[in-house]
Chain A
Amino acid sequence: MCGNEALAEAAIIAGLDAYFGYPITPQNEVTAYMSKRMPEESRVFVQSESELAAINMVFGAAATGKRTMTSSSSPGISLMQEGISYLAGAELPAVVVNVMRGGPGLGNIGPSQADYFQATRGGGHGDYRTIVLSPATVQELADCMPLAFDLAEQYRMTVMVLADGFIGQMMEPVVFEKKPRRKLPAKDWALTGAEGRGQNIVRSLYLGEGVLEELNRRLQARYRLIEKNEVRCEQFMVEDADVVVIAYGFAARVVRSAVDIARREGIKAGWIRPITLWPFPSEQISKAADELRMFLVVELSCGQMVEDVKLAVAGKAPVLLFGRSGGSVPTVEQVLDNIKQLTARHRKSKVKSAK
């Protein structure tokens, strides 16, 4: 099964009530799959007239308490930013999948990780965050979906699943498991008709003095809680490493292969793979930077996550970037070469500090 179909089926198993989407490559398999499977399950599928409409259909369904999602790729996600900001302001749960492609502009349909800033900084207007999950395999992409819905409903916010063209198109075996939902709060805010109760209002306009700041404080408190509780990352042989390579999504697979070869050649390399890009595993990276070692960030972009790594390392160690962009992908050899160069530099600096 390809990644796009796997994420669609996983969402259906996770209890998706309604999918809204607009065609864009490289995620068209999601829309096609949903158009067939959702009606089979007597659930809602709508091909919208634009990504702008799709995210607002999600807004409407979410406001009535339904599990809902959309998917798109980079240019389409840009169009959705208005709606994602409104979802944040209105505190509505929703899942958005971005199968990233090369940019800027129309770019190309090659795999890319150049939407990292947009995904982790909010992307639209206003002080807000979205939880960002970044799967590295088709299985992990499928596993992300029930988690994304649970997180969205627990924290009443948008969860973005940030994949790339490779993960979306790649065929890998996948096992679907129906996991029990987290214990989720009741949706007493949902618009269900004011039968026997006062009206519910879903809004993001607050004109009274201090009222909007109060909302922002509440959101920020929630974000701090998420930073405390929801960081996910994976590490490999970091303890004794001279060089720690940091990469997520597809790039992490290339890094894994390069580090394996390096270890076989006696080079002390390790890796850290952030799974949540926001909240970012800053603590884990900061801890790794307490030892004298070097950091290499490998991205399918000209350098975006590297800024978060530098913030986490906080000047304690050198952080270098190896990025490929515009649909191009780093090879294992290139990453290995970078690891070797850094290892040599690290030896020199060790000798220096010993003197």
Chain B
Amino acid sequence: MSKVAKVFERTPTLKDVPTHYCPGCGHGIAHRLIAETIDELGIRGRTIGIAPVGCAVLAYDYLDIDMIEVAHGRAPAVATGMKRTNPDMIIFSYQGDGDLASIGAAEILHAAHRGEQITVIFINNAIYGMTGGQMAPTTLLGQVTTTTPDGRKALGQGYPLQVCELFALLPGTIYIERCALHTPAEVKKAKKAIKHAFELQVDAAPGMALVELLSQCPVGWRMSPADAVDWVENEMKKVFPLGRFKDTQSSGV
């Protein structure tokens, strides 16, 4: 018997290719957590992923599962069409803040409101990454972007939209948690949350599971990757507190 044991390897659902993501970006970590979850639950053969419009539009180049690319913000409607016609399939959408909280606000709200039995992975990096760093609905007050050159002001540009707080109020959601990807400890928590959100769907739990991930965008934020990690810790977490907002299917919450 060999004395060398393999203790870590790339999870099979994550393709062995370099990603197009910028240095320090959170998408790569989020993709890996989803891929690991799919492999651990053994659901690769019955999972369909929905890629957003935004930096993660090419997620199908990295996740080795059946995937679809949809119009900006419409993922929850597409997911509805898929899940209703294929109740045994595992359907998840992967959406950024512009996609989910701005242009697709109606679709996510009503999919949640109807209690669609889908899993939503919501990447909040407080900015539009792919189009070059414009204000997102989740941009912090005072944050400088290419469309808020003097920093976001509440009056006229609105407040950062707190998606978890809002969606936890809806009876159609069963699980809402906000995690972050800026430290190893938080990544571990995020993995648990993502896995739980998929498990609920595997168990046919009656409603939507949504996990928000605070994610670094050093290039969009005009920061070094190290400073971006600090910014999540010191600024983003103040406006978007981490934690489990709702879990109707587990006891003790």
Interface residues of A (CB under 8 A from B): 17-18, 20, 44, 46, 48-50, 52-54, 56-64, 66, 68, 82-83, 86, 90, 191-196, 198-205
Contacts and interface: CB of A to CB of B under 8 A. Distances in A.
A60 B45 contact: no
B84 A18 contact: yes
A203 B69 contact: yes
Interface stretch (B59-67, B139-147, B172-180, B238-246): B59-67
A193 B65 CA distance: 7
Interface residues of B, number: 32
A61 B69 contact: no
14 contacts: A17-B85, A48-B110, A50-B106, A53-B80, A56-B71, A56-B77, A57-B77, A64-B86, A66-B85, A191-B66, A194-B44, A194-B45, A199-B65, A202-B69
Contacts of A82: 71
A191 B71 contact: no
A57 B80 contact: yes
Given A191-B48, A195-B46, A61 B82 contact: yes
Interface string B38-79: 000000111110000000011010001111111100100111
Most chain A CB neighbours (cut-off 10 Å) among B58, B71, B109: B71
Instruction: Decide if the interface of chain A is mainly helix, strand, loop or mixed.
Output: mixed
Interface of B: 44-48, 57-58, 60, 64-71, 74, 77-82, 84-86, 89, 106-107, 109-110, 114
A200 B44 CA distance: 12
A201 B60 CA distance: 7
Contacts of A195: 44-46
Given A194-B45, A205-B57, A199 B66 contact: yes
A60 B69 contact: no
A337 to B, nearest CB: 48
Given A56-B78, A63-B68, A90-B69, 17 more contacts: A44-B84, A46-B80, A46-B81, A52-B106, A56-B107, A58-B81, A59-B71, A59-B74, A64-B82, A86-B70, A191-B48, A193-B48, A201-B66, A201-B69, A203-B68, A204-B69, A205-B57
